[in-house]
Amino acid sequence: MVVIEDIAAMQAKRLISLRDQITINIILQYYIPITYSRPLKASHAHIKIIDLPGVNRPFEILQQSVEKYATVYIENYKSHVRDAIADHVLPNSFVSGLVIDMFCTTMIDVANEFKVPSYLFFTSGAGFLGLLLHLPGRYDRLGTFFKPSDPESVVPSYVNPVPANVLPSFAYMDTGYSCFANHARRFKETKGIVVNTIFELEYHAVGSLLDCETEIPPVYTMGPLIGEHHVQPSDRAKFGKIMTWLEDQPPKSVVFLCFGSFGSFDEAQLREIAVGLEKRGKKFLWSVRKTPPAGQFVMPGEYANHDKFLPPGFLERTKDVGILCGWAPQVEVLAHRVTGGFVSHCGWNSILESLWHGVPIVTWPVSAEQQINASQMVRDLGLAVELRLDYRRDGGNHFVVADEIEKAVRCVMDGDGEVRKRVEEMSEVCRKAVGDGGSSSTTFRHLIEVMLASLDKKEE
């Protein structure tokens, strides 16, 4: 088995736990245009890591779209992936298939050259997968991209019609739209699509994919994949401080604000968040990241001095109420008994982590597909409290005032509890899904059987 990218390390371990004669080769390629360390180690004898040589980064294409950049950049890796399989994998074993992510559809050509099946590992939800599969047909009919002022659209994978203002930003740009539409066309060439979701959570979306008039490959729901957190040496002191503070708080009393690896705000918005938290006057843990300078594609940094953006005297007045940090151990914080709410950017991994630990979300999307994730959680599933659905950092509705923040946090922490009850019920559903006989475990075993069947044919 060859996995393109490092997204499937957890699935690799699960595969091996069921069939230990399988060897997983994980091919690493880095296509995000930032300085970002992503260490991955082969923690099992049957997992092998293959690093690819670097290729030129077409930074000039970033002016068109990030989607176009990623597509062209990965295309430049095709010969290296072909060589890696020929030189490092085939001399030692048969290849039962290639597992790719949604930007790596060009590697389907490599799978075809080696006469092996390809599988798509889709790290977001089934609803968003359905949206992408909807794009090519829409473009063929209308020949244009979306506009934020468009009326609501019927997308089969969502329960309710989708407002145009919650679509991902790429949907408003010809280059971004066409890139995703082209990738989605190629999704249908794979032998199966593995989705990081739970059937019981997205049964409407999964059902729409199974009933799709345009034939698509089998869909395997195998979530939730909850990551293992590894604290870097440079973060150990911060980790200890955060966890020690949490230990001293009452159960479900702390609201956690964290906006993902790329989430950051300007100082005016940070100041407004501070005012909103102080107005509420209850416990908070706030992960604050510093927006990179314009034109620099690097990870958000950390503030050396929070007083730069905070209202005068804020730290003194709130010293017994909450703490600010830069980096935060999100999984551990969500798992802690004192965490009662989560103000989140609504990245799919964060959504699954919050559901797994039974912590309700307040929606504050920032970029990518986060707006439509937030809309699905609030409007379709009733599993989150709405702060904003259409906020986006790259323009449009991009400022949230303190009263909105205070109201949403109060709702999730002090409200009637209906959302909390639904989230806690979904937490149990998630855990059952990955247990023996659960929907995700059953689907996972079926996928293994399909993969091994293709390997058996190759060996005959």
Q: What's the CATH number where 198 sits?
A: 3.40.50.2000
Q: Looking at the structure, do residues 202 and 244 belong to the same domain, yes or no?
A: no
The residue count of the chain comes to: 460
Q: Is residue 149 part of a domain?
A: yes
- Model pLDDT, residue 36: 40
From start to end of 130-249, where are the E strands? Answer: 192-195, 219-221
Tell me the chain's radius of gyration from C-alpha atoms.
22
Q: Say yes or no: 167 and 253 in one domain.
A: no
Distances (CA, A) of 415 to 293, 341, 360, 419: 39, 11, 12, 9
- Residue 246: the pLDDT is 95
Q: Give yes or no for a contact between 184 and 132, defined as CB atoms under 8 angstroms apart.
A: yes
Please tell me whether residues 126 and 152 are part of one structural domain. yes
Split into its structural domains, the chain has a count of: 2
* 138 and 158 inside one domain: yes
- Same domain, yes or no, for 82 and 219? yes
CA distance 236 to 39: 16
What is the CA 234 to chain-centroid distance, rounded?
Answer: 25
Asked, for residue 228, whether it belongs to a domain, the answer is: no
> Which residues, 6 or more positions from 117, have their beta carbon under 8 angstroms from its beta carbon?
96, 97, 98, 111, 190, 191, 192, 451, 454
Residue 404 is predicted with a pLDDT of 95
Residues 243 and 152 in one domain: no
Residue-wise pLDDT tens digits, 376-400: 999 999 999 999 999 987 665 678 9
* DSSP structure class, residue 377: I
pLDDT at 29: 57
Residue type, 432: K
**pLDDT (0 to 100) of residue 437:** 94
Q: 27: domain range? A: 2-223+434-459
Are 259 and 182 in the same domain?
no
pLDDT value at residue 403: 96
Query: Do 451 and 421 belong to one domain?
Result: no
Q: What is the pLDDT of residues 395-429, one digit of tens each?
A: 656 789 999 999 999 999 987 689 999 999 999 99
Low-confidence ranges of the chain (pLDDT < 50): 1, 4-9, 16, 18, 31-40, 42
Looking at the chain, the number of H-run helices and the number of E-run strands are 16, 13
Kindly state whether residues 177 and 287 are assigned to the same domain.
Answer: no
